[in-house]
Structure 1
Amino acid sequence: MVHVARSAMTNLNLGLSQGRWAFPPDVRSKALDTVAIGDLLFFGVAGRPRGGGGFGAWQERRLPEAFLVRVTRLPFENKEPFWSDEVKYDVVRWNPTIEIELVQSFVNVPLAAGQGLSFSATDALYRGGVSHKAFRVSTEGSSLLEHAPPSVLSTPLVGRRSADQSRGLDLPAARIVAIESEQLRRAQVRSRPSTVADPVESRLVHTYARHLRDKGEEVARLRIDVTATETIYADVYSRTRHLLVEAKATPSRSAIRTAIGQLLDYGRYCEGASRAVLVPEQPSDDLLALLAAVDIGAIWRGPSGFLDTRRGHYC
């Protein structure tokens, strides 16, 4: 169990979207000494553990946001600036580091024992908010933790290939990670402008993701570590529909052809997933025929929402 203050939300959004988390070096938690691949990690955001009233008042509050993730790589020492403050000052500050995949996200989580979290879980979040440590608890009695969905990807639940050669891993690791938040995108425009996605594509992705979430769907994106130094991302992955989506700022021929190649690539690591291109407006009939020839759908903005080539199958 890890408590995250509101002031750390930019780093949390970055970690969730890149599949990584790190801990303060001067506050060593015993829980990290026993962490294993496949363990669950619960991030509880805000809730004001230092807001007065002690643990009793804490149980009367709610977490505005929470995230459940799965550990995919054991703790290691990261040697390159990664977090926003590290990049700004060109120094590594946060270690040890773990790699993660997103399992589920929650909003408005009650902290009263038995209403999603057990007494031990809500107590661990409170103590974590005061001490900045992570605490290990059983999932028993916490419905948000007991019923965590399994990894739905076809590749092994492990870290990068270069870090796990001793395990005989011969496939890249595919993981589900969060879509970059608008807050994070704005922060990256300032600190890493060369790495920021096209703003038209970014807005389109967020609007489409919000459209699916409003229907109660779990929406994220897919990260694939092809090698130790090469990582690729699918713009959107819907757990609910088992759907991979690549967004483009225009429905031009060059953009559609590029998206086809990307989706065919991603699909090798997400067995059985449907695939679609997301664009601002409907592609030409010839390009729709090209997409249909390779079993890829199209999604575009309509007068009131989204339209697609399969009568709502993709939206």
Structure 2
Amino acid sequence: MVSVSASALQQDALLQARTELTTGLRQTPPRLPYRLLWDEHNTALYDRIREQPEYYLNRLEMQLLHTHAPAVMGASGARTLIELGSDTGEKALPLLAHMTAPATYLPVDVSTSALNRLTDRLWHASPGTTVRAVAADFTRPWPAALREPGRRPVLVTFLGSTLGNLLPEERQGLLELVAGSLRPGDGLLLGVPLLHDVEGMVSAYRDAAGLMEAFYLHCLRILNRDLGTDFDLDAYAHHVAWSAPERRVEIGLRALADQSVLVPGHPAAHQMAFPCGEVVRAAVAVRFTARQLDGELSAHGFETVRHLPDASGRYMLLLARLWA
């Protein structure tokens, strides 16, 4: 039997993260891998961002969930709820309240500490629910706990407008994973940021309090601390722009002067150059139409059951079912 030490596993993870960062920074435009940009500070900061008046997405989604939870759960008939990127679990509560008992809830997140807090919260908020937390990256092949979750039908939820943070190939990859892990009759509930006026879409990422800027500058601090890079935080400014061809908001950091950034690695370190004015992209926020998503879902074996938009036309819940 071969034993692998914890330190060796940590070194492997560090090497993988540095390689992922180097690959991202070499792209055109250079890109920061989204999964590397989170720690306890940024998680707490994002909770504050979601409460800002400019950031309407979370507010509209919560309103839709409370309004349509009975209809969603009635149409899905779900006995098991799988939430991808569960965060605090607050968005699962309206759905769990209208599930047929006994209900099973599988929150999925890469953060075990977040899952532990969520489990404690659900113990008090929904005591009749069986909670089985799954620490996993849901963008990669799913573990058995998700592919064989128990009572069916299953409803998978992907909320928080996170669908819009995926590039087209990433979105298609996720839909393929979900479809391949479900059975006919299982459902999928998406939180969908809709295409509307450009100023409204862009302003969501330019809050007056400056929290969004603080979030993305802290991303560089995370990379310096965890991966050993040497980004100069004073040499970058928050950048938000609308890209009409891709129908998305692009968020990142613009170099205020010529920059040279060291990314440690094995067997050699990489020196990355960014000229003044170049934008290092940290996230995208795609905006969709209902017709577009219906087509993408259909290509992966889903049929749309209901569109549930808000009155302003800026956000929508979409319920789909895997074909029999």
TM-score for the superposition, normalised by structure 1: 0.22
Structure with more helix by fraction = 2
Larger RCO (CA within 8 A; separation ≥ 6): 2
TM-score for the superposition, normalised by structure 2: 0.22
